[in-house]
Structure 1
Amino acid sequence: MISAGAGQTALLGAWADHPSGALALNGSTVRWTGGRVPGLVAYRRCRRHVVQFGGPFAAEGDKGALLDEFLDRVVAGGPRPSRLTAAQVRAADVPLYESRGFTVNQLGTSYSIDLSAFTLRGKHLAKVRQNVSRARRDGVTVLETDSRAADQSELDAVDAVWLRAKGRHVKELSFLIGERGGPGAALRRTFVARRHGRTVGYVTYSPAWGARPGWLYDLTRRTPEAPVGTIELVNLTALELFRAEGTAWLHLGLTPFAGLDDRHEPASASRSLTRALRLVAEHGRALYPARTQEAFKLKWAPRVREPEYVAFQGGVRPSAVWNLLRLTNSV
């Protein structure tokens, strides 16, 4: 393992070809580096299970060696022998896990905007235009915040109101989204929405490395007083600034249980898990609002829609699924 700081960021910047790779810097996530090849593996431990995030972050030819060393030294050779579950695996890494006997199922879909081709014109962006105009008429303004204590205290207040409004039964997929603090705090950019002198919402953006470099639309919060269109106005403001800075991509991240399709299921997929995930997608609004999240992302006419996967060592076991859900706060 390496300590939090520039070393981790350098490794991710070099090898994390993943639109959500910056989530490996979350404070409660462990970052491990092997001795055979350069690279990084991000994971959390839950009882007798290890849950990995995003696959092995290494050069293409070194991924197998890094994963094998991780399986040997951390999963099998840890405090007690464990099994590995890997979440948010990209399609290119699916054969790597299948070749080591993992069962791999589609978990959901991630969405990305090509900023060089983005335009507000056309019917696809009509809802965004409508909502942005409404928020502006209602007096919402957006600015990028800095790290002053006053700004952070206002964001803390938004978080508290957001949690109360959601209710005690609603949870977020904490392992698969970012955070405001932690080792990656200095890398993020935060855009806040204000109305009548009060902060009513914000969105954080984390860096994205790899073949489609840019920013990841990450953590979103709004109060019940935020007018319709507030978050769209925040995201459009950030998007336009990123594009002016020469940024190529804005990634909207993974929506679990969205875009599930037989065409994306690997040969090793568990049919029973496929059925279960599609039931969640269809009827599991209380577990996770997949349809609402997907609808928001589709409004931006993303150029890339990419399936992401979950891989289970030794087949899909109820305990592995349960511990994945526990780590993501889904139960």
Structure 2
Amino acid sequence: MVSLKTTSHLSVLEAVRRHTQADNPSAFLALNRGNDVFTVPGTDGVIIYRRTGRFLVQFGGPFCTVDAYENLLERFVAHAREENLTLVAVQLQRPDATAYAEHGFTVNQIGASWAVRIPEFTLRGTRFMQLRNKISRAHRNGLVVAEVDAERWYEALGDIDQAWLSGKGEEARPLEFLVGEYGGPAQEHRRLFLGTIEGRPVSYISYSPVFGSRAGWMHDLSRRVPGGSPGLMEAINATAIETFRSEGTEWLHFGFTPFTGLAPENEIPGHSRAFQWLMHFLWEHGAALYPAQTQLSYKEKWAPDTVLPEYVAFHGGASLSSFAHIFRACNAF
């Protein structure tokens, strides 16, 4: 077991880039600073996780070769058992979910990720009239969108972050782990689109690379100053889509949103019915925990044509304490 702080981010990136059998669109988040990395000598692959108290919260499934998958997973389970720690894995894709269920985990759908195929995407038609109007309004209010070198704008990005967080209330905390970031050694692989009005930075969207059969970019970390012009984020994303289209990019992913895309047919045999009920309850009433409906509303503006169910796996039975520690690993409280 080694820490990402002492492991070359390039070795983790290589594992994420090459081992995409589960097609996790959020896989690049494995390179977030603060993550820990579990490895087994002689095994080609890594497991990404964070420890919170007596819990290990794993991100995605093992990023490894197919023939190393079972060994790496079993060794990680053994490591948790030896340390008397409770293991929970989040943002598993369907192949991961099936494998974890076969290894004795209780596996439930926790949400979904959403994606648009860029070559077929267009903002024409009545369906997108409101979206086009918001984008036009932002530009009429002076918004200028450009792709920029993030390293030259860190101070401005920090100012936007602070204004955005202040607008969320005194108890608001910046999320981590399952949310992207900027800066650090992995920044060279991301792309940043910045919105300015009269030269003042007012909003940005960071895009992370996506590997696998739906390769492209993921609409990741995004922030805007509160109280500004409507349509800032929509205008930035529309600009990014046209840039990606000109480069021949196939897919734009909108990332994972918990409690969304829930469907009975997505559940794995042996899942917890109580936890299934909880996910539906939080979709309806859990805005204080996470604003899933607001997040999905933004994603649905772009008419995503692909919905990918994502899963949580509990070593043993599903438990509220394990579920809570996922949010603790994300710095939600």
Counterpart AA for 1:22: F
Aligned residue for 2:264?
Answer: 262
SS at 1:105 equivalent = strand
Q: What's the CA shift for 1:104?
A: 0.8
Aligned residue for 2:108?
Answer: 105
**Structure 1 alignment gaps of length 5 or more:** none
Most deviating of 11-20 and 307-316: 11-20
- Residue in structure 2 matching 1:11, options 11, 15, 18: 15
Most deviating of 273-282 and 124-133: 124-133
- Residue in structure 2 matching 1:56, options 49, 59, 62: 62
**Structure 2 alignment gaps of length 5 or more:** none
Residues 269-316 of structure 1: per-residue CA shift (max 9 Å, x gap): 211111122111101111111011101111111121111010000111
Aligned length: 327
Aligned residue for 1:285?
Answer: 287
Aligned residue for 1:43?
Answer: 49
Residues 16-51 of structure 1: per-residue CA shift (max 9 Å, x gap): 431000000010111222224311111001122111
Most deviating of 158-167 and 169-178: 169-178
Q: TM-score, normalization: structure 1?
A: 0.94
SS at 1:174 equivalent = coil
SS at 1:84 equivalent = strand
SS at 1:40 equivalent = strand
C-alpha distance in 1, partners of 2:175/2:256? 11
SS at 2:324 equivalent = helix
CA 1:104 to 1:192, structure 2 compared with 1: closer, same or farther past 3 Å?
same
Contact 1:36 1:66 in 2 (8 A): no
Residues 148-194 of structure 1: per-residue CA shift (max 9 Å, x gap): 44x11111110110111111234454221111123422211111110
- The residue correspondences of 1:84-99 to structure 2 (distance < 5 A) are 84-99=87-102
CA 1:189 to 1:30, structure 2 compared with 1: closer, same or farther past 3 Å?
same
Counterpart AA for 2:325: N
SS at 2:113 equivalent = strand
Counterpart AA for 2:12: Q
- Residue in structure 1 matching 2:81, options 57, 67, 76: 76
C-alpha distance in 2, partners of 1:57/1:254? 18
- The residue correspondences of 1:14-25 to structure 2 (distance < 5 A) are 14-16=18-20, 17-25=23-31
Q: TM-score, normalization: structure 2?
A: 0.93
Q: Which runs of 4+ in 1 moved over 6 A?
A: none
Residues 234-274 of structure 1: per-residue CA shift (max 9 Å, x gap): 01111110111111111100011112122212122211111
SS at 1:286 equivalent = coil
- The residue correspondences of 1:176-325 to structure 2 (distance < 5 A) are 176-325=178-327
Most deviating of 128-137 and 157-166: 128-137
C-alpha distance in 2, partners of 1:240/1:48? 46
SS at 1:184 equivalent = helix
Q: What's the CA shift for 1:135?
A: 0.8
Contact 2:12 2:30 in 1 (8 A): no
Contact 2:150 2:192 in 1 (8 A): no
CA 1:187 to 1:285, structure 2 compared with 1: closer, same or farther past 3 Å?
same
Aligned residue for 2:32?
Answer: 26
C-alpha distance in 1, partners of 2:42/2:316? 25
- Residue in structure 2 matching 1:138, options 137, 141, 144: 141
C-alpha distance in 2, partners of 1:166/1:272? 31
C-alpha distance in 1, partners of 2:76/2:68? 12
Residues 102-161 of structure 1: per-residue CA shift (max 9 Å, x gap): 111111110011112111123333332121111111111101111444x11111110110
Q: What's the CA shift for 1:84?
A: 1.2
Q: What's the CA shift for 1:101?
A: 0.8
SS at 2:119 equivalent = coil
SS at 1:176 equivalent = coil
Contact 1:26 1:183 in 2 (8 A): no
